[in-house]
Structure 1
Amino acid sequence: MVGIRDVARRANVSPAAVSRVLNEDKTISIAPETRKRILAAAEALDYNINRRKYTKKRMPSIGVISTISKASEEQDIYYRELRVGLEEEARRLHLGMNRIYNLSDNPKQWTDLDQLGAIIVVGTITNDSITQLLKQNKNLIVVDNPDIQQEVDMVYGDLERMTTSVLTLLLENDHRDIAYIGGYRVDLDEFGGKIVTQFEKRMRAYLHFMQDNQLEEFIDYRLGLWTEQDGERLTEELLKERQDHLPTAILVGSDPMAVGVYSALNKENIVIGKEIQIISFDNLEVAEKLKPGLTSIQINAKSIGKAAVRMALERIDNLREEYIIMTYPTKLVIRDSFNPDRK
């Protein structure tokens, strides 16, 4: 039976290029002549390039294992957008995505994972759980967990690098006394059990930056839940303890927490953007509506989800043997909570 690799050899291109052209992947950048050569090779080999017939015959389902509960996912726009990206790309490639596990809902066990074409894991789960998953299915894609040690495909937003870049920008604008308010890292095992640690990606980058720039005396971090309520509570604690020597800037781990930070600062009549400058993560709709507007780091969750599905398809079609790590860039959207001209 003629396969993708046969077409690839005849067209003198990679199997991945053949798969993406035949599946009409709009994101691929390929020369018109190369595209014609691939289609001609498929036709010459009598390879079935009718997308619907081809995919319905060959494409198995993808399973999704998420550390986020269904309720939390509905309230968190980042994970909501990531799920949209997963589903949209699966539909476009005619892949089933009906097996979805939410670890926060305390599943009893994972069964029949070896029957799936691939598994996409969203969020931070333990290394032991990854090992157990690999015993059932080698086609594993891990999303938003760059700390995994096993050899698996990974895709995530480059939050540590962006955290360092933002802190560098603050330092260049004369900020040395920079506080951090964020959330704990929560790793889940296959039964929904939680392992809570403080060294989440943004927090870790903050500590490294302050130490690398000899700013240890200014290190001040507060951690809690990733909620508006805890953002407000942690800021109130910081203001109470440091009323005589406030930080000049606060880096906040998420926009929902930043809403709480705003509330606490406003209660004390502290002028945001002048007395204390704030930069956050997510660039949610609320960031623009806050007064003053919240400077925030934008992460394209939908694109990350789509990339994970494409990586899964490459595994299903055996288009590559090597593992790949894909990082998506982030973008700083500057608003009035941060004044880069401060001197």
Structure 2
Amino acid sequence: MVRTASASAAAGPTLAVVAREAGVSVPTASKVVNGREDVAPETRRRVTEALDRLGYVRRPRSDAARAPRLVDLVVHALDDSWTGAVLRGVEEAAHDAGLEVVVSAAPDRCGAARPGRGRLDRLVARGSAGVLFGLTEPSASQYAWLEQQRVPFVMIDPVREPPPGVVSVGASNRQGGVAATEHLLGLGHERIAVLAGDTRTVCGAARVAGYRSALASAGIRHRPEYVRHAGFDERAARRHTLELLDLPEPPTAVFVCSDRMALGAYRALAERGLSVPAGMSVVGFDDLPEAGWASPTLTTVRQPLAEMAATALHSLLRLIDGHRPDSTRTELPTRLVERASTAGPPGVRASATGRGVSPSRAPAGPPR
């Protein structure tokens, strides 16, 4: 009897005990433990407090010790180039660390890709050591569930600003926006538009902020009609490019905040019989494979996606080992990759230094 009681005490309280403590049914307590969202906030609070107060510990599967060491990668989609680059970085880093990776896609819900209710429960059931989220946004209750279950996780290119203390890895999006705009300014453009993504997102807002900062530093007046919000959608980018072309004074260049949207801008220009860059210079962002496939090849800002993914995995491994980082946010540098989609505006030629020089300002004779 003593041994039985000791074993029971060591095992900790059952879910029934937690439910009784919180004044709820066992199924309701189970929903909170499993990260279900169909629980009232006050009920969730009572159950969570009871779990903490009683020291409830989720029991691993009996075969968890024999399972291979796994990490989960949850991405917004499986069929795009962004995911391919991230998966490459995670897989290479995981191979070096002796890990296996389980990849899944979160459905888009109300404009944000979020893991389903049972997805996080399944990853714990199979003994996953931690989770990487790529362009996905857990709900507030899922963040709380991960913390409660002590499941380490890291965000790759977070959609929105993560809660305090959440570790994330991204790119220097603002500086990338500065570099793209300064490149066009250096070619002599002053009428520069921007096709923004979703400015409610971390990267979308930062890229537009970089564009505006570069214009201000160059003393170029900000023109609100040159700022169009395409939501990272290729078809919307095409439509907004046509609108820019219909302005009384259309831009001579456009900074497009993703390579996929840049393809939409290409399509709009072709529909109007305009070539790139003679009709309009175009700069993208990401440096996905599509940038090299486009005709002409796309000048773009390279976002180091594979490196970001590998850095995120290394950060996750440190969390798994119980080490907290000095900083919760890591930003890797972006850089401009010049290709064939940019040139000086009509009437302006590029100088030897790359700055745009109008004919009236060009040197009178050959250099001495």
> Is the 1:183–1:226 contact (alpha carbons within 8 Å) kept by the matching residues of 2?
yes
- Which of structures 1 and 2 has the bigger CA Rg? 2
Instruction: Measure the CA separation in 1 of the matches of 2:330 and 2:66.
Output: 29
Alignment gaps of 5+ in structure 1? 1-55, 188-196
Deviation of 1:330 after TM superposition, in Å, equals 2.0
- Taking the TM superposition and a 5 Å limit, the aligned residue runs for 1:319-334 are 319-320=323-324, 322-334=326-338
Instruction: Measure the CA separation in 2 of the matches of 1:218 and 1:174.
Output: 20
Tell me which of 67, 70, 78 is aligned to 1:61: 70
Instruction: Measure the CA separation in 2 of the matches of 1:58 and 1:317.
Output: 18
Q: Compared with structure 1, are the counterparts of its residues 132 and 221 closer, same or farther at alpha carbon in structure 2 (3 Å cutoff)?
A: farther
Instruction: Measure the CA separation in 2 of the matches of 1:264 and 1:321.
Output: 46
Who is 1:136 aligned against? 149
Instruction: Provide the identity percentage.
Output: 21
> Is the 2:191–2:253 contact (alpha carbons within 8 Å) kept by the matching residues of 1?
yes
Letter of the structure 1 residue corresponding to residue 339 of structure 2: R
Who is 2:268 aligned against? 264
SS at match of 2:316: helix
Deviation of 1:248 after TM superposition, in Å, equals 1.6
Letter of the structure 1 residue corresponding to residue 196 of structure 2: G
- Greater displacement, 272-281 / 129-138: 129-138
1:118 matched to 2:130? The reply is: yes
Runs of 4+ in 1 over 6 A off after TM superposition: 56-59
Who is 1:203 aligned against? 208
Q: Compared with structure 1, are the counterparts of its residues 205 and 149 closer, same or farther at alpha carbon in structure 2 (3 Å cutoff)?
A: farther
Deviation of 1:337 after TM superposition, in Å, equals 1.6
1:80 matched to 2:105? The reply is: no
SS at match of 2:71: strand
Instruction: Measure the CA separation in 1 of the matches of 2:224 and 2:103.
Output: 47
Deviation of 1:235 after TM superposition, in Å, equals 1.1
TM-score scaled by structure 1?
0.68
- Greater displacement, 247-256 / 120-129: 120-129
* Deviation digits for residues 51-74 of structure 1 (CA, Å, limit 9, x no counterpart): xxxxx98984323333x13xxx31
SS at match of 1:163: helix
Bigger RCO (CA 8 Å, 6+ sep) = 1
Who is 2:46 aligned against? none
Letter of the structure 2 residue corresponding to residue 180 of structure 1: V
Letter of the structure 2 residue corresponding to residue 173 of structure 1: L
Deviation of 1:163 after TM superposition, in Å, equals 0.8
Deviation of 1:144 after TM superposition, in Å, equals 0.5
Instruction: Measure the CA separation in 2 of the matches of 1:281 and 1:203.
Output: 12
TM-score scaled by structure 2?
0.64
- Greater displacement, 292-301 / 99-108: 99-108
> Is the 1:62–1:118 contact (alpha carbons within 8 Å) kept by the matching residues of 2?
yes
Who is 1:35 aligned against? none
Q: CA RMSD in A?
A: 3.2
1:309 matched to 2:313? The reply is: yes
> Is the 1:101–1:107 contact (alpha carbons within 8 Å) kept by the matching residues of 2?
no
Deviation of 1:225 after TM superposition, in Å, equals 4.4
- Taking the TM superposition and a 5 Å limit, the aligned residue runs for 1:144-163 are 144-145=157-158, 147-163=161-177
Letter of the structure 2 residue corresponding to residue 297 of structure 1: V
